[in-house]
Structure 1
Amino acid sequence: MSTSHDGLWGIGELAARAGVSVKTVRFYSDGGLLPEAARSAGGHRRYGSGSLERLRMIRSLRAMDLPVSAVRRVLDEDEDTAGRAGGALEDAVAGQLRTLGSQLRALRWREAALRSVQECPPAERPARLRLVGAVTSPPDTAPLARFWRGWLPPRMPARSVTAFLEVAVPQPPEDPDPGQVLAFAQLYAMVSRPCDGSAGQPQPHAHRDAGARESAVLYAGLAEAYALAATEMRGDREPCPGEALDGFVDAYASARTTADTPDFRRALSRQLAVDPRIDRYWELTAELTGPPEPTPGAAHDWLCAALAAETGTALPA
């Protein structure tokens, strides 16, 4: 197949050289990606020899599933930089990698969800399917954040809320196993319905009278106490008095601008024993994040047990 006397190719010749259909060449030409050099006397499209390389570049970019708009930016920059790779190509590839990463993550979650259904007893599969099917792939953590915003003091400073949510809201694993998908689905179901059948989210008594400053003091102190308790828990120590417990009590005492006395400790222990609990939330969170890192809920329970042991207060059954 040879070039005509004017050095230009017809649409059929260009298509044959590139190994594509005439329809493909026409599509890219009509979209402005492959400009024609001229028209013949009969009105047929004519292309210069540079069109072959441009068409190959278009095919390569489209093979990566880049949108036409991104292909156009890369081609325009390619012309401006005399064929040297520039930022448009780098941005297009990076954007496509992000898109593929999201798609792959969604597929991994969907596969694990299906395996969760497949691996449970046949009689339980319809209920399991409804449970995991209610969660998007990949899952959205916004419902968990909303749950905690209802649990936390309403006047708590935004910075303190954000810091707490970073700890309390588990990030879904990139490559989950069926058990982790099930745990997240159970978390989602838990936070998507009223707790204990009540009309609203029950809050611990310690939150009800807390203003902005008091709640900020309380949660900053609790975060430090939980970190200290987690260190004790990693060493398999039983709940006991010490720096972690002192920091825990001091967080409540400072928030209430009162002194840390034996009477205060006994009253606090009794109050914490009857406050609403969400142990199941933390159990499911641990299944998502994995051992051995103690959750804030586990640290809270350890500290409550230490306080009860010190004050002789009975823990709830």
Structure 2
Amino acid sequence: MSTDDTLSIGELAERAGVTVKTVRFYSDRGLLPETARSSGGHRRYGPEAIDRLRLIRSLRTLDLPVPDVGRVLDQEDALEGIIAGQLQELGSQVAALRWREAALQLLQECGPEERADRLRLVGAVSVPPSTAAPVRFWRRWLLPARLPARLVSAIIEQAVPQPPAEPTPAQVLAFARLHAFVSRPCPGTDRGQPAAHQPDKGYRPAVLYDGLREAFTLASPALRDQRPPHEGEALDCFVSAYAGSCGTHDTPAFRRRLRGELRADPRIDHYWQLVAELSGPSEPTPGAAHDWLRIALDAETARPAA
């Protein structure tokens, strides 16, 4: 070591337990500033460079990119944000690996006659899977109703399932089938829209959907307990949502009329079946709640008047 307090590149490398090539690499990228140059033009570093180099190595051991390491060295409060970003990125990578594993198991477990079809379905889904296609489906389906953005967001949040964090092969298949279903032309473009979306029917869809969300919540306990459709608060709320949305009263005549309209509405049962496969029986889907309430209405209106 020289008579002053500075270190040569070789001395710094030895003190920090790295190679001279490593010191030169970080120095060239501005992470390890030189204190001075010797008379022969060689780099010299101050004693503080040892701790700085050890910190750089620790950050790089965590696979932080060199630019992020520079931000941590220059800004005391940068580390927390960088850690959060790295954790989010790692979470996405882990989710992708779990999805790939389940997808490969799905292909491994099926017979040769099914493999090509399943490979086509699974191959159409991004990894990790995205809910963009189901969200677009619902925005198209709800578009004629001209709902407020707040309500559209709430409906989509309830209707679009999130991919499981640790999917089974069966859930991978269900999500892939769901993705294929919603990627086709929207049923609203070729099979008509529900009566509530049609201006000539006199409904106010925003009022209706707010009421339906409450009715579905009321019906959920009965669905979880696997109780058959029946009269009660949930059905009354369901009918009131329709009645209130078209400015009329809940009467026996209205209930009979509503039964006919609901029977004629287009259905997306396959969508809700696939959602149920993804979310499991513990969380009733809006589609299952709607069917339960519709059947309860059918049973009630089919009975002779007292």
RMSD: 2.2
Q: Trace 1:251-262 onto structure 2 (pairs within 5 A).
A: 251-262=241-252
> Is the deviation greater in 301-310 or in 122-131?
122-131
Taking the aligned partners of 1:95 and 1:122, their CA distance within structure 2 comes to 42
Q: Trace 1:121-132 onto structure 2 (pairs within 5 A).
A: 121-132=111-122
Q: Identity, % of aligned pairs? A: 63
TM-score calculated relative to the size of structure 2: 0.91
Residue 57, structure 1, aligned to residue 55, structure 2? yes
Q: Quote the offset at 1:212 in angstroms.
A: 11
Q: Quote the offset at 1:200 in angstroms.
A: 4.5
Do the aligned residues in 1 keep the contact of 2:140 with 2:186 (CA within 8 Å)? no
Taking the aligned partners of 1:310 and 1:213, their CA distance within structure 2 comes to 23
Q: Trace 1:1-317 onto structure 2 (pairs within 5 A).
A: 3-77=1-75, 86-152=76-142, 153-195=144-186, 200=190, 202-209=192-199, 214-312=204-302
Taking the aligned partners of 1:251 and 1:50, their CA distance within structure 2 comes to 71
Taking the aligned partners of 1:201 and 1:65, their CA distance within structure 2 comes to 53
SS in 1 for 2:53: helix
The one-letter amino acid of 2:287's match is G
Do the aligned residues in 2 keep the contact of 1:205 with 1:271 (CA within 8 Å)? yes
* CA offsets 1:58-112 (integer angstroms, 9 cap, x no match): 01101111122221122124xxxxxxxx422222222222221121112111211
TM-score calculated relative to the size of structure 1: 0.88
Distance 1:30 1:200, change over 3 A: farther
Distance 1:195 1:75, change over 3 A: closer
> Is the deviation greater in 90-99 or in 166-175?
90-99
> Is the deviation greater in 87-96 or in 174-183?
87-96
Q: Quote the offset at 1:155 in angstroms.
A: 1.1
Q: Number of aligned pairs?
A: 302
Taking the aligned partners of 2:59 and 2:201, their CA distance within structure 1 comes to 57
Q: Quote the offset at 1:121 in angstroms.
A: 1.2
SS in 1 for 2:100: helix
SS in 2 for 1:5: coil
Q: Quote the offset at 1:195 in angstroms.
A: 4.9
* CA offsets 1:205-238 (integer angstroms, 9 cap, x no match): 2211289981111001111111111122223221
Taking the aligned partners of 1:247 and 1:90, their CA distance within structure 2 comes to 48
The one-letter amino acid of 1:65's match is D
Distance 1:310 1:62, change over 3 A: same
SS in 1 for 2:204: helix
Distance 1:161 1:279, change over 3 A: same
Taking the aligned partners of 2:73 and 2:65, their CA distance within structure 1 comes to 13
Do the aligned residues in 2 keep the contact of 1:155 with 1:212 (CA within 8 Å)? no
The one-letter amino acid of 2:30's match is G
Specify every segment of 5 or more residues in structure 1 that has no aligned partner in the other structure, as ranges.
78-85
Taking the aligned partners of 2:220 and 2:35, their CA distance within structure 1 comes to 72
Misfit runs of 4+, over 3 Å: 198-202, 210-213
Do the aligned residues in 2 keep the contact of 1:155 with 1:211 (CA within 8 Å)? no
Specify every segment of 5 or more residues in structure 2 that has no aligned partner in the other structure, as ranges.
none
Q: Quote the offset at 1:32 in angstroms.
A: 0.7
The one-letter amino acid of 1:60's match is S
Q: Quote the offset at 1:55 in angstroms.
A: 0.9
Q: Quote the offset at 1:193 in angstroms.
A: 0.4
The one-letter amino acid of 1:282's match is W
The one-letter amino acid of 1:122's match is P
